[in-house]
Amino acid sequence: MHEISIMQSTLELAEEHARKAGGTAIARICLRIGIVSGVVPEAMEFAFDVLKKDTMAETASLKIERVPGVFRCSGCGAILRLADVCFDCPSCHGLLIMDGGGAELELSQLEIL
């Protein structure tokens, strides 16, 4: 479960930014997670709940935004933004090729007190 180490790093980064901004606590952490990033949002939420204790984010909430992937159909050339990984075009059933987006894993917003 690599989400635990990812969340540990996220909390450390959030605390670093909060301290630099003169904050004393973190109210909310927002993450953007792409559908092909290999990261399971539910596992991130679990890791957050476990790891936030005794940190500046102890009472913080976590918001996760799922980022769709952009795919191009090798058959008809259609460009599709999909919220789920799919391998065939819904129109022509041609093979879908990743064409950008969907691999994100980023700390997008930090609300500090």
Which class does domain 3-69+101-112 fall in? alpha beta
Q: pLDDT averaged over the chain?
A: 94
The answer, yes or no, to whether residue 93 has pLDDT greater than 70, is: yes
Q: What is the pLDDT, as a whole number, of residue 83?
A: 86
Q: What is the pLDDT, as a whole number, of residue 50?
A: 96
Q: What is the pLDDT, as a whole number, of residue 86?
A: 81
Higher pLDDT, 110 or 1: 110
Written as six digits, the tokens of 40 are 């399971």
The model's pTM is: 0.84
Q: What is the pLDDT, as a whole number, of residue 87?
A: 86
- Condensed to tens digits (0 to 9), the pLDDT of residues 16-49 reads 999 999 999 999 999 999 999 999 999 999 999 9
Q: What is the pLDDT, as a whole number, of residue 89?
A: 93
CB < 8 Å & 24+ apart, contacts of 71-74: 71/96, 71/97, 71/98, 71/99, 72/96, 72/97, 72/99, 73/97
Confidence label for 74 from pLDDT (cuts 50, 70 and 90)? very high
Q: What is the pLDDT, as a whole number, of residue 101?
A: 84
Give residue 66's identity as a one-letter amino acid code. Answer: R
Please list the residues that pair with 51 across neighbouring strands: none
Written as six digits, the tokens of 81 are 């933004």
